[in-house]
Amino acid sequence: MSFIYLFSPLSKETRRVDNEIGMINALWSGGGTLLVMLLGVGLFHESVTMSKVLGLSLILAGIMGLTVPRKERSI
């Protein structure tokens, strides 16, 4: 039952014409990784190392880079 709740927003986003499946997949997996790490630190008191902070910063920068609207030409 939880899969239905999890994949419902994902399937709704893929139906929109202006979204690319590669971008949606990257946002879904990157956002999930970020959320799981933050929950692990908050709920289970996992350690926060510099490499984790750097990795999460790169994930967040990638998510922001994918969602910023820009004008570009298709090949």
CA atoms within 13 A on the CB side of 64: 6
pTM for the structure as a whole = 0.62
Q: Which residue type, as a one-letter code, is found at position 71?
A: K
Burial profile 50-69: b = 16 or more Cβ within 10 angstroms, e = fewer: eeeeeebeebeeebeeeeee
- Domain residue spans of the chain: 20-67
Per-residue pLDDT of the chain (75 residues; tens, 9 = 90+): 566 666 676 666 666 656 677 777 778 888 888 889 889 999 999 999 999 999 989 988 988 887 777 666 666
Other beta carbons within 10 Å of 42: 9
CA–CA distance, 19 with 5 (Å, rounded to integer): 20
